[in-house]
Amino acid sequence: MIVSVGWYMTLAAGLFSLGAVGVLLRRNALVMFMSIELMLNSVNLTFVAAGGELGLIEGQVAALFVMVVAAAEVTVGLAIIVAVFRRRGTANVDQLSELEG
Amino acid sequence: MFETIVFIVFAVVAMVGAFAMLAARNTVFSAMGLLATMFSIAVFYILLDAHFVAAVQVIVYAGAVMTLFLFVIMLIGVDRIEGRDEEIPFQRPITVVLVVGLFAVIVAAGSSAWVTGWRLFGETDLNGTIETVADALFGTWMIPFLSTVFLLTIAAVGTIALAQFGPGGLHAVDEDDDHEERVS
Amino acid sequence: MIDFLWLVIAFPLTGAAVLLLFGKRFGDPWAGWVASGTVFASFLFALPLIIPLIQGTEEAQTVFIYEWIPIVNADISILWDPLSALMTLLVTGIGTVIHVYSIGYMRGDGRFGRYFAYLNLFAGSMLILVLANNYAMMFIGWELVGFCSYLLISFWFVRPAAAAAGKKAFIVNRIGDFGYIVAMMLIFFVFGTFDFDIVFGSAASELSHGMAVAITLLLLLAAAGKSAQIPLYVWLPDAMEGPTPVSALIHAATMVTAGIYMLARSAALLDLAPETGTIIATIGVITAFWAALIAMSQRDIKRVLAYSTISQLGYMIFAVGLGSYVAAMFHLTTHAFFKALLFLGAGSVIHAMSGEQNMWKMGGLRKIMPITFWTMVTAWLAISGVFPFSGFWSKDEILASAFVEQSWVLWAIGVATAFLTAFYMSRLMFLTFFGEERWPEGTHPHESPAVMTGALVILAVPTVFLGGINTPFALTFEHFLEPAFEFVQLPHPGEAVTLVSLAVMSGLIALAGVGFAYFRYLRRVPQQATGGYWSAAEDGFYIDDIYGRTIVLPGKWFAGWLAVSVDEEGIDRIVNGVGGSVRRLGDAMRPLQDGWVRSYAAGIGFGALGLVILMLFVGGVF
């Protein structure tokens, strides 16, 4: 059986869903962030698979761009998490909430 | 045949890695799981003839990003274990519903011709070598490429600012005074 | 020159605007001189324009100013004919005198500038009324003078009585205004316009009898409100709460005469409804008699004069009802002078007595205030109808026309009223100026300053001599006014013999009234009449009380009921309900903002899911 593009898509969908679960259910800010990275990776996989199926190089180009943005985002996001940790002493997003509504 | 086996093996690795990332109590184990997933995805890229992207995936994602994550994990709460209780009411059922829905919708979308546009271009042979990618990147997509330069610069500046002028930084602004002070 | 006639209205209105804005800065007494100046300017401007009308060389002219509401053919335009010219000179002439008098009377008042602003505003409004060329513009003036009356009556509004009096005047007036408005609607319905020229010109052909009766009855209602006739006279005695010059100008000489002017103007319509004429005459003469009865037992000098005004207005309305429009306007003119003089004189007395208005606390003032005394004597003799003062001629003409028309009952009532008038006015004079000094402790009466006595003297002259303009031997006034009554049948005067004997009789009756009062109040120690009838009369025969119980009280209950059941329970509930439901909505939505990042993330996730499904629907995937 040949691996068709649908396999890759389904796998990517699965990874995406798992990433979503991680964002919604984990309380550690770092793990949430990593889940977001997982989601980005699944999207990258989709891009490259679709590009291969359509014969367009743009799929890989898009994936590259996503990677650049993700890298920049990780940089700044981690800096924020560190700054928050320094001030509040915790990386648990539930404990960081100040709203009492 | 060979391709199928490799795919299945690394698909399993990817899923296990993802699960590990979700389920591990220790943050470092989560990072390890994600690392495994990323390597698997790099393998998938090779299977899809995207050699350059695969290399970049390993170097940037697995190499730089995950390393960065591990640095920060070491800095923060390595010894803290997350509790098991869920404080937000109904968060777990809601998550299940949402995620299942997302998965279903994505698969449905992916199977539809309207979204994917399969059979529009026919079978072509795509070679994901550096030359092909570079041609596209520095040709048609030059401007987005240059924009990413700006993006990275801004990200770097922002990070430095957060580190130096944020709480606990070297040049943190003391809130009682108007001018900067060295915080020892 | 006549094209600029609108300046006559503009001068006092500008004065009012300026004084409203800068009155405080002008101060006492400059604000007063500015105000007097504007009215005097109007007088001087109008004066040369009346001469061609007197000489008979000019007919009536209209001066168009401004197209106001084209859809109902209502314009702002001025009608300059003998009737409006007469009223204009009366308003501006007597107005100037009273303005100057007020400078002395209102000296030291905190709101000096505001007072003169209101007076100027009133003058301008009255001029709009009398110079109007159509019912709509006249209504503007009509309403405005009512408003100014309210402002001026309640000028010292800190006194609850004054504030209440202002309210009462406005509300009672409003009932009359209702009559005017409905009359206007009917006039428009029949004629399609409000213009006097068109309405009066085509009245004979266009107006059905029933319509004429309806319109004239409604106009009578309006006049009854404005000119204080039965049943709407109750505001005038209370209006004495205002400063005395206000009483002189508005409630004697000008505003209250607006009703009579309006009816005289509408003579063409009244002619087509003789039944209304009878009703008008009856109401007029009954009001005259009734008010005279009440005046006889009043203690307050101003209230005597107030009821006296109601009574004399009754005479004028009586004349209008009989169709003797000239007689009515003649009495209006003479009354303006002597009544203004009486009020200003009373003001002078009150000023001298440091605010005391009760005649039983006065007495023997004639030696101390000679100018006031002698000028008031002229007015007293005029109003009592003593020969040869002005009032004799004008009142007699009304009674004579009643006799000639053979309305015997009404004539008899008129004669009786004349007797009572002479009686109570003499009573007023004897109690105030003659006899023993019954002053309260610490009063030092003195003659008033020149600004005030000067006004008295100026007004005294026409009081004495003005009768000459319309004697039965020289009907100058009638000829002057004739063009204004183009479409009207003026009554023919009776034979000379009848007229002379009637005149002699009027003169004797007047003297009888004076004599009666002399014996009661001068010959012996005067006392207020007591007894059931007299205290009832003093209370105005309890009319105010009756109105209060039958109309005011139910009105208050109704208003109270409305306030609770409609306003509080109905409208407030709805409005508060809206507010309450918004709050409840907010409360219901508040849990969405719980501060947990992950629940926000779930929200975003659901939103994204929904959008994707929507897009897939659009794309036809589902």
Contact C598 A24 (CB under 8 A): yes
Name the residue among C37, C58, C42, C54 with its Cα closest to residue C5: C42
Nearest to A53 among B4, B30, B118 (CB): B118
Can you tell me the distance from the alpha carbon of C23 to that of C330, in angstroms, rounded to the nearest whole number? 37
Assess contact for C104 and C452: CB atoms under 8 A: yes
Residues 81-110 of B with CB under 8 A from C: 87-88, 91, 94-95, 98, 101-102, 105, 108-109
Computed on alpha carbons and rounded to an integer, the radius of gyration of chain C in Å comes to: 30
pLDDT (mean) for B35-61? 93
Asked if pLDDT for residue C127 goes beyond 90, the answer is: yes
Chain B residues inside the 8 Å CB shell of A94: 87-88
Contact C597 A97 (CB under 8 A): yes
CATH level 3 topology of B1-81: Four Helix Bundle (Hemerythrin (Met), subunit A) (1.20.120)
pLDDT of residue C147: 93
Lowest mean pLDDT among B56-70, C299-313, C391-405, C412-426: C391-405
Chain-wide mean pLDDT for chain B?
A: 83
pLDDT of residue C461: 86
Asked if pLDDT for residue B181 goes beyond 50, the answer is: no
What single DSSP character describes residue B174? P
pLDDT of residue A72: 94
Categorize the per-residue pLDDT at B115 as very low, low, confident or very high, splitting at 50, 70 and 90.
low
Amino acid at C429: M
Lowest mean pLDDT among C159-163, C321-325, C359-363: C359-363
Residues 119-178 of B with CB under 8 A from A: 120-126, 128, 132-133, 135-137, 141, 144-145, 148, 151-152, 154-156, 158-159, 162-163, 166-168
Name the residue among C510, C359, C516, C528 with its Cα closest to residue C434: C359
Computed on alpha carbons and rounded to an integer, the radius of gyration of chain B in Å comes to: 22
More confident residue, A40 or C432: A40
Can you tell me the distance from the alpha carbon of B19 to that of B25, in angstroms, rounded to the nearest whole number? 12
pLDDT of residue A76: 94
pLDDT (mean) for C165-189? 92
Apex B134 CA angle, B132 and B138, nearest 5: 130
Assess contact for C182 and C154: CB atoms under 8 A: no
pLDDT (mean) for B125-153? 88
Q: What is the pLDDT of residues C193-219, one digit of tens each?
A: 888 888 888 877 877 888 889 999 999
Q: What is the pLDDT of residues C237-253, one digit of tens each?
A: 999 988 999 989 887 77
Name the residue among C436, C421, C396, C432 with its Cα closest to residue C300: C432
With tokens 């008899």, the residue in question is C412
DSSP B10-65: HHHHHHHHHHHHHH-SSHHHHHHHHHHHHHHHHHHHHHTT-HHHHHHIIIIIIIII
Using DSSP, how many helices (H) and how many strands (E) does chain C show? 25, 2
Can you tell me the distance from the alpha carbon of C146 to that of C130, in angstroms, rounded to the nearest whole number? 14
pLDDT of residue C469: 77
Can you tell me the distance from the alpha carbon of B107 to that of B163, in angstroms, rounded to the nearest whole number? 42
Categorize the per-residue pLDDT at B172 as very low, low, confident or very high, splitting at 50, 70 and 90.
low
Assess contact for C148 and C92: CB atoms under 8 A: no
Residues with Cβ < 8 Å from C368, sequence gap 6 or more? Answer: C352, C445, C446, C447
Asked if pLDDT for residue C322 goes beyond 80, the answer is: yes
Lowest mean pLDDT among B127-136, C70-79, C89-98, C486-495: C486-495
Q: What is the pLDDT of residues C570-607, one digit of tens each?
A: 888 888 889 999 999 998 888 777 778 888 888 999 99
Pairing between β-strand C61-69 and β-strand C74-80 as defined by DSSP bridges:
antiparallel
Can you tell me the distance from the alpha carbon of C74 to that of C66, in angstroms, rounded to the nearest whole number? 9
Categorize the per-residue pLDDT at C353 as very low, low, confident or very high, splitting at 50, 70 and 90.
confident
Can you tell me the distance from the alpha carbon of C69 to that of B180, in angstroms, rounded to the nearest whole number? 74
C119-142: string of b/e by CB count within 10 Å (b at 16+)?
A: bbbbbbbbbbbbbbbbbbbbbbbb
Half-sphere exposure of B65 (CA within 13 A, CB side): 30
pLDDT (mean) for B61-90? 79
Asked if pLDDT for residue B42 goes beyond 90, the answer is: yes
Which domains can be identified in chain A, with CATH numbers?
5-88 (1.10.287.3510)
pLDDT of residue B123: 56
Assess contact for C50 and C89: CB atoms under 8 A: yes
Segments in A1-98 forming alpha helices (H) = 5-25, 29-54, 58-88, 93-96
pLDDT of residue B3: 84
* Closest chain C C-alpha to B94 CA, distance in angstroms: 8
Chain C residues inside the 8 Å CB shell of B114: 616, 619-621
Structure tokens at A21: 């679960």
Chain B residues inside the 8 Å CB shell of C613: 105
Structure tokens at C127: 């001029």
Apex C346 CA angle, C359 and C37, nearest 5: 165
More confident residue, C93 or C531: C93
**Collapsed DSSP state (helix, strand, coil) of residue C494:** coil
pLDDT over 90 for what percent of chain C?
A: 33
Chain-wide mean pLDDT for chain C?
A: 86
**Collapsed DSSP state (helix, strand, coil) of residue C67:** strand
Assess contact for A4 and B98: CB atoms under 8 A: no
Chain C residues inside the 8 Å CB shell of A92: none
pLDDT of residue A100: 62
Inform me whether the C-beta atom of residue B48 falls under 8 Å from chain A C-beta atoms.
yes
Asked if pLDDT for residue B79 goes beyond 70, the answer is: no
Structure tokens at B19: 């699960």
pLDDT of residue B109: 83
pLDDT of residue C585: 92
Assess contact for C448 and C244: CB atoms under 8 A: no
Question: Across the strands, what pairs with C69?
Answer: C74
Can you tell me the distance from the alpha carbon of B145 to that of B147, in angstroms, rounded to the nearest whole number? 5
pLDDT (mean) for C498-515? 81
Outline where DSSP puts E strands in C172-297.
none
Structure tokens at C548: 């209060």
pLDDT of residue B184: 45
Chain A residues inside the 8 Å CB shell of B91: 24-25
Asked if pLDDT for residue C501 goes beyond 90, the answer is: no
Assess contact for C64 and C81: CB atoms under 8 A: no
Nearest to A97 among C591, C595, C601 (CB): C595
Contact C595 A98 (CB under 8 A): yes
pLDDT (mean) for C333-339? 91
Assess contact for C138 and C129: CB atoms under 8 A: yes
* Closest chain C C-alpha to A55 CA, distance in angstroms: 24
Interface test with C, best of A21, A81, A92, A93 (most C CBs within 10 A): A93
Question: Across the strands, what pairs with C164?
Answer: none
- Distance, C-alpha C468 to centroid of its chain: 27
Lowest mean pLDDT among B124-138, C2-16, C176-190, C549-563: B124-138
Contact A78 B31 (CB under 8 A): no
Instruction: Evaluate whether ipTM surpasses 0.95.
Output: no
Residue of A nearest to B39 (CA): A41
**Collapsed DSSP state (helix, strand, coil) of residue C83:** helix
Phi–psi pair at B175, nearest 5 degrees: -75, -20
Q: What is the pLDDT of residues C150-164, one digit of tens each?
A: 999 999 999 999 999
More confident residue, B144 or C366: B144
Categorize the per-residue pLDDT at C324 as very low, low, confident or very high, splitting at 50, 70 and 90.
confident
More confident residue, C231 or A54: C231
What are the angstrom distances between the C-alpha of C133 and each of C105, C195, C221? 36, 6, 21
pLDDT of residue C473: 66
Amino acid at C554: P
